[in-house]
Amino acid sequence: MISRTSKMGGPIPKFNDYHMWKALNCLDEKDTMGRKKLSTMLNIGEGSTRTILSLLQDQNMITIGKSGIVLTSKGAEFKKSIHMDLADVSISDLTIGDKDVAVRVPKMARNVTFGCEERDAAIKSGATGATTLVYSGGKLIFPGSDYPVEPIIEMKIKAVFNLKNDDVIIIGTGPTRESAEVGAVIAGLTIMGGPQFNRDLKDIISSRSTSSELISLAFAIHDLVGGLPVCAKSRDNLGIRIENGAVIDNAYSGQVLEEVISVGTTIRRVATSGPYKGIRVIVTPIELDNRIIAAIGVVDVRSMAGVNNLIRLRSEDDD
């Protein structure tokens, strides 16, 4: 039987290198922190927070116990290696957003050319922009030149940071404080070359992956097959069902999905039950380290049986 829980899809929280950086900065070697509190501090969902913690745990940077999460010595060292000071500033003469947040990236002036890469990285992360400055010879200058910033701007920066030679200052700007902070941090990480986590398939999907962790893969397949319905689930968790570019069910399981996970081979057949009864489905397993960890399938609604069945389903839903 195909079971369907009435949890309809909404926006699925996502995370990027900023959230990895902030998670490390929120954690400590001595004081533990719970996952819910960390999720609130990161301003993302618990599913995304769980994925971040899984990545950090796989890298031996944290331990998770009954009392909470704590940094390991390796995690503490890595945290130091990507350290940036962060402060709220207001420099409307230099920036174009409503809110400004600055970061100090220690001793990274050698990695800056003209500031264009940092600006572009900030914009891609959702900020309005970013301005890069370099501290050299006892003064703040624009990169790629010896042109100094206005004295009032330098005074504002020095009021929040203890500048040292070859430091880089990045001022992220955006419509909200959060977007400005994300832009500044992402730009800073760009200068450092990124967090340098070793990510592979097992960091993205596992046998315990939730529907929110499968959504990117499911939507990619959905687009590749021209918008045909797509279903996916991990071995140990409920999955996701997508139709017409939207999440229809994010607590989904199906007979064929479960069978494919069990037998480990691709199955092509007409579904005999559930919302796609009478429609041809193609489901294939996802394998990692010689183990089936998930299954993903496409529903071929191009057949007449499929079209008629979908019409019937829509009518039943409307009732």
* Residues facing residue 298 across a β-bridge: 230, 282
- Three-class secondary structure of residue 165 per DSSP: coil
Residue pLDDT, tens place only, 221-267: 988 898 999 999 999 889 999 998 888 998 899 999 999 999 999 99
Which fold would CATH assign to domain 204-318?
Beta-Lactamase (3.30.450)
User: Over the stretch 107-145, which tens digit does the pLDDT of each residue have?
Assistant: 999 999 999 999 999 998 889 999 999 999 999 999 988
**CATH top-level class for 17-80?**
mainly alpha
Task: Supply the pTM of this predicted model.
Answer: 0.59
φ, ψ of residue 37 in degrees (nearest 5): -65, -40
Where exactly does CATH 3.30.450 map onto the chain? 204-318
Amino acid letter, 291:
R
pLDDT value at residue 315: 46
Residue among 184, 135, 143 at smallest CA distance from 161:
135
Integer Cα distance of 32 and 50 in angstroms:
16
Residue 285 · residue 295 · CB < 8 Å: yes
Write down the H helix ranges in 193-254. Answer: 201-204, 211-224
Where in the sequence of the chain do the CATH 3.30.1360.30 domains occur? 83-192
pLDDT (0 to 100) of residue 273: 86
Q: How many CB atoms lie within 10 A of CB 236?
A: 13
Class of domain 83-192: alpha beta
- What pLDDT, on the 0 to 100 scale, is given for residue 245? 86
pLDDT of residue 215: 82
- Residue 4 is classified by DSSP as B
* pLDDT in the model for residue 9: 34
Domain with CATH 1.10.10.10 in the chain: 17-80
Low-confidence ranges of the chain (pLDDT < 50): 1-13, 198, 304-316, 318-319
